[in-house]
Amino acid sequence: MTKTIKRRTMYKSFNQNHANVLATFERGMMKTLKEAREELEMPYTELSELAGVSPRALSNMEKEGTMLSTLLCNVLWAEALGFELVLKKK
C-alpha cells in the first residue's frame, strides 16, 4: 500500500513539473514570435496565409496565458516568421 501511494505522489509531482516546464517554454516561444511579427509589421492575415493557421488562432496564441497552441501550430508560426525549431541535447 505504501509503495502505491509513493508512486502516485512521485508521478503527480513529475507531471506537475513537466507541465510547468512546458508552460514556461511555450510562453517564451510565444513572446519571441509575437515580437518578431511586430518587428516585421506583419498583420495576422498575412502570417495566417504563410503559416496555414487562422488569424484568430494566431491572435489567441499571442495572448499571455492562452495555451491554445499546439507544437505544430508553433512550428508553422515560427517557420512563417523565418525561424527554425532546433532541438538539441543538453
For residue 3, name the pLDDT band (cuts at 50, 70, 90): low
Length of the chain, please? 90
- Domains of the chain, residue spans: 26-80
Return the pLDDT at 43.
93
Between the alpha carbon of residue 11 and those of residues 14, 15, 55, the distances in Å are 5, 6, 38
Each residue's pLDDT tens digit, 44-81: 999 989 888 888 888 887 875 455 457 777 788 888 88
**pTM of this structure:** 0.58
